[in-house]
Chains A and B, each alone.
Chain A
Amino acid sequence: MTEKIGGKLIKFGDNVNTDVIIPGRYLVSIDPQELAKHAFEPLGPEVQKRLWVSQVVVGGKNFGCGSAREQAASCLIGAGIKAVLAKSFSRVFFRNCINTGLPAVECPEAAEVAADGGEIRIDLAQGRVDVQGKKFSFASYPESLKQILDAGGLIPYLAKYVLPQQEASKR
């Protein structure tokens, strides 16, 4: 987990669903780079072009609602997105972000003032957001989630901490 994340942001509204983030017909892939080509495709090529040069996705309420597809998180990683910040998240999307190693930050105040195309800085360790010249704070992750993000996602985390122990205990 890179503790300080920053760059250009792309802003969306409330209730952005996973059919918009990555349409179902592309779910035959789990390759983040391949998926990134189709991220936000239903919103048109202009939005996609802006996505590909952004580092942070900012959403409104209930970001990532709808189908439980994990590719909704991994397509953003493939598109070069380093963090998602929203007023609130759909729980499966939030879980999928953590599991794929994409920081998902809930900070309604920062999401409100963020301006599309503007700059944003997120300090995950300190729980701080810097946007539009204003500073906001958010609750940092519980230790268990921090460990998963630090490892780069659930599978790398299990490979590092859990699977070797299981192997050892069998011996």
Chain B
Amino acid sequence: MNMIEKILARASGRKAVAPDDVVVANVDCLLLHDLSGYLTGRVFEKEVRRPMRYPERVVMIFDHHFCPPSEEGALVLQENRAFARRHGINLFDCGNGNTHHVAVRNGFIRPGTVVVGSDSHTPIHGTVGCFATGLGNDSHAGTVMPFGKAWFKVPETIQVRLTGTHRPGVTPRDAALWLTGQIGEGGAIYKSLEFSGPYIEQLDFWDRWLFPHIVVDLGAKCGYIEPDEKTLAFVRTVTDKPFDAVRGDADRKFEATWEWDFSALEPQVTCPPTVGNVKQVDEVIGAPIQWAELGGHGGGRIEDFRLAARILKGRRVHRDARFNLVPSSRAVFTQAVREGLVELLHEAGATWFPPSTGSNQAYNMGAMTANEAMISTHARNFPGRNGNPNAKMYLASALTVAASAVAGKIADPRQFLKEF
């Protein structure tokens, strides 16, 4: 069995499971955010009307709002808070960071466990060695909250074996964006993707994070990286609680093995209107942007701010562009303060925002007119997520985002890096 099959077998009290088996599994963690918690809560309280079975396993994080701009937003948060208090679940209020980062940083995500959530990017927790997938309000309210369980069909698994070393100016996010284009939207519907190979092994935890991040937009049910010493060492920095990490058998079988090498990869830019429209940076150089942003599920990491600082040291944000910096967690902001990145990027003309999910769907920030464009580290670029449906969203690495903020238009980061 592979890691996912072993986790699902253990969570459903079986010795073994195989693809297409339907199991009812114990859920170790349920993640809700400010846009889903109160809606799930209404179904749970009005229609299910049973006690919360394991309140300690339920985590609600406010990340789309960091300070509501309207009474409507304030009411949403009020309803969420009241629900959380009535049932004694974990609550992380405004300003704590992006939902997935907060969950990991506070030790709720442990290797070998089953994690579900209302955010479609919940599979990102496969980075920690979990079986993690997104469900919907009714599954959460109907089976997870009252019974601590959910049903799952065991997916087929595809091995994604990655090799190579990047050229300068190319980052793991470029690799992840490029892979999204290669596999394609819907290119792995219902599958589980195991990311492995020397490329993945040499990455640190938060760079590995960028790969399970993409699986939902490929149509996959889940994605994961087998936990190794790096994973376990990271998890021990965020929790004292015991966990039982799982790795697949050496003779595990895959439905297919896909192999890619990143040695010749160039910086990538995902263009509107969907995440599958990935181009090499030189095809879009010069496209106008008014906004640049580091933030979102995969962005706002300390690694992103370090990369931006490499570009902005001794330079300034273009007078016609605004550069938003959104830490993914309070811990990242503290680290950015310690490393001098807060001052450096602020003095260069960028603007720091509270830890949150930033312009993701423009709840608290990030609305654009029909004539505006943004380049960011966000996960999606679908029309209408940021104000007018004709506004454009480009996705790129922190280097390319920062270079574009300096140029006021999409730029190749290599022109700003010393080694070129």
Binary flags per residue of A87-99, CB closer than 8 Å to B gives 1, else 0: 0111110011001
Residues of B within 8 A of A19 (CB): 380, 382-385
A24 to B360, CA, bound (A): 10
Residues of A within 8 A of B134 (CB): 68, 92
B28 interface residue per 8 A CB criterion: no
* Interface residue stretch chosen among A45-53, A75-83, A112-120, A155-163: A155-163
| Contact indicator B361/A24 (Cβ below 8 Å) | yes
Residues 118-163 of A at the B interface (beta carbon under 8 Å): 142, 144, 153-155, 158-159, 163
Residues 40-77 of A at the B interface (beta carbon under 8 Å): 42, 61-62, 65-70
A169 interface residue per 8 A CB criterion: no
Residues of B within 8 A of A91 (CB): 189-190, 219, 221
Binary flags per residue of A17-54, CB closer than 8 Å to B gives 1, else 0: 10110011101101000000000001000000000000
Q: Nearest Cβ distance between residue A70 and chain B, in whole angstroms?
A: 4
Residues of B within 8 A of A100 (CB): 138
Residues of B within 8 A of A109 (CB): none
Q: With A15-B276, A19-B384 in contact, do A70 and B138 touch (Cβ < 8 Å)?
A: yes
Which of A27, A89, A142 interacts with B39 by CB under 8 Å?
A27
Q: Which of A67, A95, A153 has the most CB of B within 10 A?
A: A67
Residues of B within 8 A of A30 (CB): 39, 42-43, 137
Residues 96-154 of B at the A interface (beta carbon under 8 Å): 118-120, 122, 134-139, 141-143, 146-147, 151
| Contact indicator A15/B136 (Cβ below 8 Å) | no
A159 to B361, CA, bound (A): 34
Which of B43, B50, B380 interacts with A66 by CB under 8 Å?
B380
A100 to B39, CA, bound (A): 14
A153 to B185, CA, bound (A): 28
| Contact indicator A67/B120 (Cβ below 8 Å) | yes
Q: With A24-B361, A91-B221 in contact, do A155 and B141 touch (Cβ < 8 Å)?
A: yes
- Closest A residue by C-beta to B189: A88
- Closest B residue by C-beta to A90: B219
| Contact indicator B389/A92 (Cβ below 8 Å) | no
| Contact indicator B136/A68 (Cβ below 8 Å) | yes
Which of B48, B135, B274, B383 interacts with A15 by CB under 8 Å?
B274
Chain A's interface size range is: 35 or more
Q: Nearest Cβ distance between residue B389 and chain A, in whole angstroms?
A: 4
Which of B43, B138, B385 interacts with A24 by CB under 8 Å?
B385
- Interface contacts (Cβ under 8 Å), in number, total 116
B47 interface residue per 8 A CB criterion: yes
- Closest A residue by C-beta to B191: A91
A103 to B394, CA, bound (A): 35
Residues of B within 8 A of A69 (CB): 136
| Contact indicator A20/B185 (Cβ below 8 Å) | no
Which of B50, B137, B186 interacts with A65 by CB under 8 Å?
B186
| Contact indicator A20/B383 (Cβ below 8 Å) | yes
- Closest B residue by C-beta to A43: B389
B256 interface residue per 8 A CB criterion: no
A4 to B172, CA, bound (A): 50
B337 interface residue per 8 A CB criterion: no
- Report A's interface with B, CB cutoff 8 A: 14-15, 17, 19-20, 23-25, 27-28, 30, 42, 61-62, 65-70, 88-92, 95-96, 99-100, 142, 144, 153-155, 158-159, 163, 166
- Report B's interface with A, CB cutoff 8 A: 22, 35, 39, 42-43, 47-48, 50, 72, 76, 118-120, 122, 134-139, 141-143, 146-147, 151, 185-186, 189-190, 216-217, 219, 221, 274, 276, 361-363, 380, 382-385, 389
A-B contact pairs, 12 of them (CB 8 A): A19-B380, A19-B385, A24-B384, A25-B362, A27-B39, A62-B219, A70-B138, A88-B189, A90-B189, A92-B134, A92-B135, A158-B48
Which 3 interchain pairs have the tightest Cβ spacing?
A: A62-B186, A68-B120, A70-B136
